[in-house]
Amino acid sequence: MMNLEGKTVLVTGGAGFIGSHIVDRLLDLGAAVRVLDSFDDFYNGKESNIKHNLARSSFSLIRGSILDEGELLASLKGVDVVIHMAGQAGIRYCNTFPEKAHLINVVGTFNLLQAMRKLGLKRLIYASSSSIFGPLVRERIDEDHPTNPSSPYGATKLAAEKYCMGFGQVYGLEVTSLRYFSVYGPRGRPDQIIAATYDRIQKGSPPIIYGDGKQVRDFTFVSDAVDATVLAVQQEDSVSRIFNIGYGEAIEINDLMRRIMSRLNGGHNLQIQNEPSYLGDFLATFVDNSLARKILGWRPKVGIDQGLHNYFAWKTENGVN
């Protein structure tokens, strides 16, 4: 396994939700971490995600975009490993702005691959998504499950994943793709269902479910996603492989909502508000994570109840509403 101490790692999108947690872990492991982030206004709070690292000599920040070739090349110089977390997230948002999703997720990823190729860099971890699968054709999703994305977001993430693996085959990039399943936790995006429900209940507003709430999701706590990502960097056997990264326990959205409401003061007094399903939504995700367990030696540790407890405790401690 690769020892990360003394290695230089570029994390694109490293001021974002999952990316900033990865940065923290890499720094703790002795790596020199460089972040390239555009601080897009998709959501607020990214500045606070990284401010605690600004004074560390092993941390550096480049405010720039993966759509800018010059900024990409400058950020990649002297790098040992690239973890590509930058992307336009949000199924509903990407339904409204598909051009932006294509530019950032597909063109931006292509730009990164080309820049790595020009500089002779090899090692890349790509952050893919469970949204590439679309409707289930069997109960559990393994890495060989058909990919039929039902939204522009899912389509762009799949296209970028294919570009990464194709560059690996033709140009010798050492690529690992990680398909994250419904990651949540501290610093999470405010539009994600757990964060949005918490915020609405704290304000005395009814929580919202899109559709009938019978959709099933496999939620993954952010620390487990970080564990898998770091192991993918370190583990040589992860090269040229794709891994599903999810906890491995399916929960119905109605059940999730009940668990959230029972934990929060005032939650019982609110009536759930059902809104129409949004286009591109899918009925279920339920991961088979056996390949990541076998090859990476990864074991998810935080189930949904512990994850909700940890997340809400963090929000309370940090005064986050």
User: Catalytic residue at 210?
Assistant: no
What is the Cα–Cα distance from 39 to 41, expressed in whole angstroms? Answer: 6
Backbone angles phi, psi at 188, to 5 degrees: -65, 155
Task: Please tell me whether residue 94 adopts helix, strand or coil conformation.
Answer: helix
H or E element: which one contains 26?
helix 17-28
Place of tokens 């998709």: 42
Task: Please tell me whether residue 32 adopts helix, strand or coil conformation.
Answer: strand
Chain centroid to Cα 198, Å, comes to: 20
Place of tokens 């339904």: 95
Chain centroid to Cα 206, Å, comes to: 27
What is the Cα–Cα distance from 265 to 268, expressed in whole angstroms? Answer: 8
Q: Which of 36, 40, 48 is nearest to 73 (CA)?
A: 36
The region, left, alpha or beta by phi > 0 then psi within -120 to 50, assigned to residue 67 is alpha
Which residues lie closer than 8 Å to 319 by C-beta, 6 or more apart?
none
Nearest-10 crossing angle of helices 253-263, 304-317? 40
Beta-sheet strand order (sheet of 8-12)? 59-63, 32-37, 8-12, 81-84, 123-129, 174-180, 241-245
CB-CB contact of 84 with 12 (8 Å)? yes
Please identify which of the residues 153, 163, 184, 311 carries the catalytic annotation: 153
Q: Active-site residues: which are they?
A: 153
